[in-house]
């Protein structure tokens, strides 16, 4: 499935690789600093999914404000060119940020003009409301019959406390980079290109693997102080990616075959009630998670990367890993083998009126079918997870992520395909 | 004034330097990566002021919830020990994040346990309401007579659109680091130590010099796409720091002599109306700023670091730098020589209900006397700056920053002095 042999391009990468239908690179030259990494834009799949997780994310969901299908197509075409340019370290347009007609706005806003590509990836998705309208009955663009089977309305899970204004949307942009200003610049450029066609519904910033953890190849810690991501699907597991991430030929209805090679993105804003957590004992914390805090080792023994033994019992006959611990409930063996490619980021959005930090995990997971790989797992967690005492899901999103764009010109001009062209062309 | 020769300590830095009354280091070994930088905690001045600007800031203002002066002193003592430990790469307490009694909460919350100090500095300040009460008439701690002369109530400037919930406060913590998780961890640790004594009033995150710009020593760009900070006071200008940053012996009343060696911090949350800016011409943008967008050169000619010639005129006799441009109005020669040590950060706080980015500059400036070095400048800007069409001040803060702590033990234990002891001891 993956072009695992693909390397990274230099800063002039688009010129070098733009004409080639290269696969998604997942293995950048480890000698490159984070700022110098450039991931190819073109490929069978969109970048930003199996790409090694960058340090920052800026998510932006948009609502389309037109009913003109041609305008939607034109927007996706503009976004494709912009994404191709920005990810390769180019500015938003050929005149840059400080050239061109003096009495016109510059092509580029300029705040990232001195910054390298910083591993930027831009990933675009389609929400259920793009197909059905926000009222679930307005087929604005003639797309209702092509709604992907997995692009369901997520059920209300026990404990959900969702803010509609921070949930869902017609379109999603996920911009990931190792520099926050580069990610923010990308969202701003795409927002600017959407003027008159779509407007921002919600945005979310997050940070994750920091420089230090990236260098050390250690698993980063979340705001509970625990390592997070130990048992994730890895880019080097092509069978797992085929089974659990990429939509396969024959998945779903014929009318939804346009999503083949794509995937689904589940987003959940999970606020952590940190002040409460911080007053609990180390025993409670490890019991809730099912792992040790220091090493991240399962409480059944071994090291961080030892598989949890959910049946192991202690001398008192009680299970070493609590059946209602997060590790037990989220484990594939508890969920008919369901797995996800997780790509979550920590967020810190100031504080609430009571002075408590509004912080937690923005959970992002890519799955082949949310009905199989996400809903049952979250349903079990929402009902039984001991962690629920310390978290609250405050926003939710589900997007179909179309396949990648196989080819663009070196300057980002289209050569036929664009993001979503399998659906809209 | 400055211990410019001071180097940086290793990760075991506290043990090495804790017993020495070292000056503030302003010149880290350039061979160190950002993550490995450790700035001394002790010194005549607090760190985080002339310290080279780190990549991230997390500001947190607190309101004291007790009227017990001893509890306030105890809080500042705990904060001193925590700041001394965390800035040197130690965890919040001796038992760390995953040791100690199994049935007690760990000393440290753990999310930064694998991360180095990352250049962390923690700077603490006192707001006017600490002295006078939020009602300006409640001398809770017997401090009213010791109110520093410069800790005024800032005037309402034309155009101010301030949110009281995001402004002011009794205490301020400025945590700066090259890793966001390290800065957030510091604020969390100090918030936790404040439980029962003070609670968070507002917080603000920002990012600034990114890895790439730090390496290249180039001036970073703000969200207007212009270089920001070209004409700042530099740590290598001891006369300017004495004249415009550090409170000098004899400044103000005798009762406020405790602030000698300290300074004042002015904070202004300046939202940029980016969408409007992005639709203006390059001509308008350069006229508003008074500099070129690409180089940051003054429109009177030369390069980025050429002094602006405010009197230069073009062939048409009109001034090359517009009299109402930002550069003209903010220039020391337009303000009786007023200067500030600026330390601002870009912020991106999601979007508003209209889908516009809630983003801009969190202006931070350290000044010897806000009445001399800040108020007149801001008054002129608020009345005349052409930039006002594209910005809005949405929050404001002014804090007195006490002098540094000359000495602590290697484990952060106090040796008499603490943050604020010149006021409270």
DSSP per residue over A8-23, as a string? ---TTHHHHHTTS-PP
CB-based contact, A211 to chain B, within 8 Å: yes
**What is the DSSP-derived secondary structure letter of residue B419?**
T
The nearest CA of chain B is from the CA of A357 a distance in Å of: 8
Is there a contact between B313 and B177 (Cβ–Cβ < 8 Å)?
no
- Cα–Cα distance for residue pair A235/A209, rounded to 1 Å: 16
DSSP-assigned beta bridge partners for residue A359? A348
Kind plus residue range of the DSSP H or E element containing A85: helix A69-87
- Cα–Cα distance for residue pair A17/A23, rounded to 1 Å: 10
**Torsion angle, alpha carbons of A416, A420, A421, A422, to 10:** 130
CB-based contact, A209 to chain B, within 8 Å: no
Q: What is the pTM of this model?
A: 0.92
pLDDT recorded at residue B31: 57
pLDDT, tens digit (0-9, with 9 covering 90-100), for B180-203: 999 999 999 999 999 999 999 999
CB-based contact, A65 to chain B, within 8 Å: no
Average pLDDT across chain A, whole number: 90
**Torsion angle, alpha carbons of B295, B299, B302, B308, to 10:** -110
Say yes or no to pLDDT of A268 above 50: yes
- Cα–Cα distance for residue pair A333/A319, rounded to 1 Å: 16
Residue B276's alpha-carbon distances to A132, A182, B231, B354, in angstroms, are: 32, 21, 26, 13
Distance in angstroms between the alpha carbons of the first and the last residue of chain B:
25
**Computed from CA positions of residues A162, A166, A170, A174, in that sequence, does the dihedral angle turn out positive or negative?**
negative
Matching residue, tokens 């202006």? B363
- Of B62, B203, B346, which has the smallest distance from its Cβ to A350's Cβ? B203
DSSP-assigned beta bridge partners for residue B175? B58, B122
CB-based contact, B223 to chain A, within 8 Å: yes
- Burial (Cβ within 10 Å: 0-12, 13-18, ≥19) of residue B256: buried
Query: Which segments of B66-144 are extended strands (E)?
Result: 121-127
pLDDT, tens digit (0-9, with 9 covering 90-100), for A290-335: 999 999 999 999 999 999 999 999 999 999 999 999 999 999 999 9
CB-based contact, B347 to chain A, within 8 Å: no
DSSP-assigned beta bridge partners for residue B345? B362
**What is the DSSP-derived secondary structure letter of residue B313?**
B
Record: contact B211-A178, CB cut-off 8 A: yes
Q: What residues contact residue A266 under an 8 Å CB cut-off, 6+ apart? A: A154, A340, A363, A364, A365, A366, A367, A370, A374, A397, A398
Q: Which stretches in chain B have pLDDT values below 50?
A: 1-27, 212-216
Q: Which residues in B lie closer than 8 A to residue A102 (C-beta atoms)?
A: 281-283
- Cα–Cα distance for residue pair B331/B311, rounded to 1 Å: 12
The nearest CA of chain A is from the CA of B371 a distance in Å of: 30
Q: Which residues in A lie closer than 8 A to residue B164 (C-beta atoms)?
A: none
Say yes or no to pLDDT of A212 above 80: no
pLDDT, tens digit (0-9, with 9 covering 90-100), for A8-17: 333 333 333 3
Closest CA to A231 of A348, A332, A315: A332
- Joined tokens for residue A70: 């041609």
Is there a contact between B39 and B51 (Cβ–Cβ < 8 Å)?
yes
- Cα–Cα distance for residue pair B15/B23, rounded to 1 Å: 16
pLDDT recorded at residue B234: 85
Residue B10's alpha-carbon distances to A365, B87, B114, B408, in angstroms, are: 39, 11, 16, 17
Q: Which residues in A lie closer than 8 A to residue B181 (C-beta atoms)?
A: 207, 210, 346
Give phi and psi for B313, each to the nearest 5.
-125, 155
Interface test with A, best of B98, B192, B215 (most A CBs within 10 A): B98
The 10 Å CB-count burial string (b at 16+, else e) for A45-83 is: bbbbbbbbbbbbbbbbbbbbeeeeeebbbebbbbbbbbb
pLDDT, tens digit (0-9, with 9 covering 90-100), for A243-259: 999 999 999 999 999 99
Record: contact A223-B349, CB cut-off 8 A: no
**Torsion angle, alpha carbons of B301, B303, B309, B310, to 10:** 90
Kind plus residue range of the DSSP H or E element containing B198: strand B198-207
**Which residue does chain B place closest to A35, by CA atoms?**
B212
Record: contact A221-B114, CB cut-off 8 A: yes
- Cα–Cα distance for residue pair B407/B208, rounded to 1 Å: 31
Per-domain residue ranges for chain A? 35-142+158-406+417-424
Residue B118's alpha-carbon distances to A81, A258, B8, B268, in angstroms, are: 37, 46, 12, 26
Q: Which residues in A lie closer than 8 A to residue B357 (C-beta atoms)?
A: 187-188, 191, 200, 203
Is there a contact between B360 and B346 (Cβ–Cβ < 8 Å)?
yes
CB-based contact, B351 to chain A, within 8 Å: yes
> What Rg do the C-alpha atoms of chain B give, in angstroms?
21
- Cα–Cα distance for residue pair A202/A360, rounded to 1 Å: 17
Cα angle B165, B169, B173 (rounded to 5 degrees) comes to 110
pLDDT, tens digit (0-9, with 9 covering 90-100), for A367-393: 999 999 999 999 999 999 999 999 999
Cα angle B56, A120, B211 (rounded to 5 degrees) comes to 30
Record: contact B97-A293, CB cut-off 8 A: yes
- Cα–Cα distance for residue pair B265/B174, rounded to 1 Å: 10
Q: Which residues in A lie closer than 8 A to residue B274 (C-beta atoms)?
A: 109, 188
Distance in angstroms between the alpha carbons of the first and the last residue of chain A:
24
Kind plus residue range of the DSSP H or E element containing B211: helix B211-216
Least confident span in A4-13, A49-58, A136-145, B235-244:
A4-13
DSSP-assigned beta bridge partners for residue A28? none
Is there a contact between A233 and A244 (Cβ–Cβ < 8 Å)?
yes
- Cα–Cα distance for residue pair B23/B311, rounded to 1 Å: 41
Record: contact A351-B111, CB cut-off 8 A: no
Phi-psi region of B99 (alpha: psi -120 to 50; beta: other; left: phi over 0): beta
**Torsion angle, alpha carbons of A406, A409, A412, A413, to 10:** -100
A396 alpha-carbon distance from chain centroid? 13
Say yes or no to pLDDT of A213 above 70: no
DSSP string, A133-187: -TTS---TTS-GGG--TT-PPPPPPTT----GGGS--SEEEEEEESSHHHHHHHH
- Cα–Cα distance for residue pair A2/A23, rounded to 1 Å: 6
């Amino acid at each position: 499935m993956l072009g695992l042999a693909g390397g990274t391009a230099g800063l002039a990468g688009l010129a070098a690789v733009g004409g080639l239908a290269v696969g998604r690179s997942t293995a950048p030259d480890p000698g490159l600093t984070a700022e110098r990494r450039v991931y190819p834009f073109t490929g069978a799949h969109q970048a930003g999914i199996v790409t090694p997780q960058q340090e920052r994310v800026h998510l932006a969901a948009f609502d389309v404000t037109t009913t003109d299908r041609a305008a939607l197509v034109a927007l996706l075409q503009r976004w494709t060119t912009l994404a191709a340019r920005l990810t390769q370290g180019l500015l938003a347009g050929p005149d840059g940020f400080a050239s061109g007609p003096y009495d016109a706005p510059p092509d580029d806003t300029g705040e990232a003009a001195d910054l390298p590509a910083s591993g930027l990836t831009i990933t675009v998705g389609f929400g259920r409301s793009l197909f059905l309208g926000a009222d679930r009955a307005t087929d604005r663009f003639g797309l209702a019959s092509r709604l992907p089977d997995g692009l369901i309305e997520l059920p209300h899970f026990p404990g959900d406390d969702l803010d509609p204004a921070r949930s869902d949307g017609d379109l999603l942009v996920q911009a990931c980079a190792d520099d926050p200003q580069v990610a923010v610049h990308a969202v701003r450029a795409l927002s600017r290109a959407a003027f008159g066609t779509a407007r921002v519904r919600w945005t979310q910033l997050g940070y994750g693997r920091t420089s230090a953890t990236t260098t050390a190849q250690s698993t980063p810690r979340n705001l509970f102080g625990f390592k997070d991501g130990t048992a994730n699907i890895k880019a080097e597991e092509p069978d797992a990616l085929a089974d659990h991430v990429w939509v396969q030929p024959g998945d779903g209805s014929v009318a939804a075959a346009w999503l083949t090679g794509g995937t689904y993105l589940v987003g959940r804003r999970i606020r952590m009630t940190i002040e409460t957590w911080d007053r609990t004992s180390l025993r409670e914390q490890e019991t809730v998670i099912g792992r040790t805090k220091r090493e991240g080792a399962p409480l059944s023994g071994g090291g961080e990367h030892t598989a949890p033994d959910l049946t192991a019992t202690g001398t008192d006959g009680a299970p070493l890993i609590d059946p209602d611990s997060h590790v037990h409930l989220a484990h594939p063996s508890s969920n008919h083998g369901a797995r996800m490619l997780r790509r979550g980021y920590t967020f810190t959005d100031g504080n609430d009126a009571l002075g408590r930090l509004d912080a937690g995990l923005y959970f992002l997971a890519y799955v082949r079918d949310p009905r199989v790989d996400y809903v049952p797992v979250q349903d079990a967690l929402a009902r039984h997870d001991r962690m629920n005492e310390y978290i609250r899901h405050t926003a939710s999103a589900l997007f179909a992520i179309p396949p990648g764009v196989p080819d663009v010109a070196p300057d980002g001009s289209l050569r036929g395909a664009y993001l979503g062209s399998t659906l809209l062309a």
